[in-house]
Amino acid sequence: MDKSFITTAFTFEGCTITKNLGVVRGIIVRSRNIFANIGAGFQTLVGGDITLYTELCEKTRADAFDLMVQHAEEVGANAIIGMRYDANEISAGVTEVLAYGTAVVVERRT
């Protein structure tokens, strides 16, 4: 799937949605490891961006996104509209990240 056909909007300029294939999602559950917690603890003493957590969050969102795209391709979509992320803490240090949207088939207007 062309990543330019994934949007938070509900339409694509110059395209017609020809088929709605329903909700697709990618879910990842991650925990912080003890070494990252120690390193992040040191970073909090200095202040600023806590890069260890930033990298963990970016990787987790990217993995959830990739799973959502895979799910959309499996159902025959060539685009995803209304794409969103959600995150919930399941327990201390364990977080669920969900990427979701509506899988559709789009065709360019001529």
The secondary structure of 42-108 as a DSSP string is: HHHHH-S--HHHHHHHHHHHHHHHHHHHHHHHHTT-SEEEEEEEEEEEEETTEEEEEEEEEEEEEEE
The Cα 27–Cα 96 span in angstroms is: 7
Judged against a pLDDT cut of 70, whether residue 32 lies above it is answered with: no
Topology of the domain covering 3-108: Translation Initiation Factor IF3 (3.30.110)
Do residues 106 and 1 lie in contact, with contact meaning Cβ atoms separated by under 8 Å? Answer: no
Looking at residue 53, what is its pLDDT? 73
Contact 68, 100 (CB under 8 A): yes
Q: Give the Cβ contact number of residue 77 at 10 Å.
A: 25
Model confidence pLDDT, tens digit, residues 79-100 = 999 999 999 988 877 889 999 9
Domain locations in the chain? 3-108
Whether pLDDT at 74 is above 60? yes
Provide the 10 A C-beta neighbour count for residue 39.
Answer: 14
What are 64's two structure tokens? 């959830």
